[in-house]
């Protein structure tokens, strides 16, 4: 029988206080009342349907994302997690993360989240510069961002801060100042990533200008150096952590593990006993979802797409790519991609060893070019 990979659970909460101009995630601007009770009920029904595809595997990690999940009352998160645990086994040591916006962080609410089983908080800070926060249309200021970190750290010893660089009007010193401020508060994890403006966003339509490539490159290089000097090890293209605090949920994605995706617009990947991989996409329309129409599409991933998707994730990580792992998780022999591997080696993107491949720094720098080789 095909060896099934670990499985995680992603739960999408689609409401936000405001849709940021750069955001291309699926979300709704919240009205005065969010139909929390109804949505939780349908999330659990959606979960029940997907469980039929999972072969009773224990859930290793849970990630409640959005949107802004911290808009939900603590009782809603409690009912949600209780309902999940009642329907399927969750690992005793499971990492359970909730995303939060500093504007919606309330101390008592977060205490209740923790008591419900949440053991990791991820704060969408982006920058500590109040002027830049206005430019990227965030709803809080620098003081609120710092207060949110202080509050979170009182509740949990596992806190991630999301920070962006390459913001409109941002200088090199501004980006490094953000990192220094974050490091001062000693979170266990920092996600440090470049702002890219996607075509389906407000910023794209407005043709918002970003810093030039030379400045962005300096932000990246100097920022990475500062983080590593401060005890944060880079384990993925945009992820840095203290020892033993890597995000286990994201590592499961990047190691081509499985995940159930429930809620409006959520995506899932579930491997079957015969080695086939099923992709699910949930309905984006909130009214349809609340009427019980959860599934938008479901399909079996082709051999070509399995190969591309595997490497799209694996190449992001700063670790060897085991040849045995590739074959176990894709059900494709390494001989099938021998020509692609040779091209990648000739281009200086990959190093080939007897048991593994490793991405070179050039491969990391030109990741899109490396991935194009595996589209052929």
| Domains and their CATH numbers in the chain | 7-252 (3.20.20.70), 303-376 (1.10.10)
pTM of the model: 0.94
pLDDT by 10s per residue, the chain, length 376: 568 999 999 999 999 877 777 776 666 676 668 899 999 999 999 999 999 999 889 999 999 998 889 889 999 999 999 999 999 999 999 999 999 989 877 778 889 999 999 999 999 999 999 999 999 988 899 999 999 999 999 999 999 999 999 999 999 999 999 999 999 999 999 999 999 888 888 788 888 899 999 999 999 999 999 999 999 999 999 999 999 999 999 999 999 999 999 999 999 999 998 889 999 999 999 999 999 999 999 999 999 999 999 999 999 999 999 999 999 999 999 999 999 999 999 999 999 999 999 999 999 989 999 999 998 7
* 150-to-97, 109, 127 alpha-carbon distances in Å: 18, 15, 16
């Amino acid at each position: 029988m095909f060896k099934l990979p670990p499985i995680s659970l992603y739960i999408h909460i689609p409401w936000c206080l405001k849709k940021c101009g750069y955001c291309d995630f699926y979300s709704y601007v919240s009205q005065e009342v969010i139909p929390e009770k109804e949505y939780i009920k349908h999330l659990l029904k959606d979960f029940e349907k997907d469980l039929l595809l999972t072969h009773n595997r224990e859930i290793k990690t849970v990630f409640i994302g959005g949107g802004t999940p911290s808009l939900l009352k603590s009782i809603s998160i409690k009912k949600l997690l209780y309902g999940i645990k009642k329907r399927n086994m969750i690992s005793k040591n499971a990492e359970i993360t909730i995303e939060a916006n500093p504007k919606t962080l309330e101390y008592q609410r977060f205490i209740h989240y923790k008591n419900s089983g949440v053991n990791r908080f991820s704060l969408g800070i982006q920058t500590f510069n109040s002027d830049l926060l206005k430019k990227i249309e965030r709803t809080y200021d620098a003081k609120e961002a710092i207060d949110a970190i202080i509050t979170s750290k009182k509740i949990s010893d596992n806190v991630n801060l999301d920070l962006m660089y390459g913001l409109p009007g941002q200088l090199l010193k501004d980006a490094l100042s953000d990192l220094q401020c974050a490091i001062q508060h000693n979170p266990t994890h920092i996600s440090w990533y470049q702002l890219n403006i996607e075509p389906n966003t407000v910023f794209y339509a407005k043709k918002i200008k970003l810093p030039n490539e030379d400045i962005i490159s300096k932000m990246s290089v100097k920022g990475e150096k500062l983080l590593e000097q401060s005890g944060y090890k880079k384990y993925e293209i945009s992820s840095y952590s203290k020892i033993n605090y890597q995000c286990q949920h994201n590592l499961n994605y990047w190691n081509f593990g499985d995940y159930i995706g429930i809620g409006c617009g959520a995506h899932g990947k579930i491997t079957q006993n015969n080695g086939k991989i099923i992709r699910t996409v949930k309905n984006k329309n909130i009214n349809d979802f609340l009427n019980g129409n959860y599934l938008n599409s479901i399909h079996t991933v082709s051999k070509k797409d399995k190969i591309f998707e595997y490497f799209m994730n694996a190449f992001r990580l700063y670790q060897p790519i085991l040849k045995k792992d590739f074959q176990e998780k894709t059900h494709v022999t390494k001989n099938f991609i021998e020509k692609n591997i040779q091209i990648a080696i000739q281009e200086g993107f990959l190093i080939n060893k007897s048991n593994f491949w490793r991405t070179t720094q050039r491969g990391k720098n030109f990741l899109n070019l490396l991935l194009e080789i595996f589209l052929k």
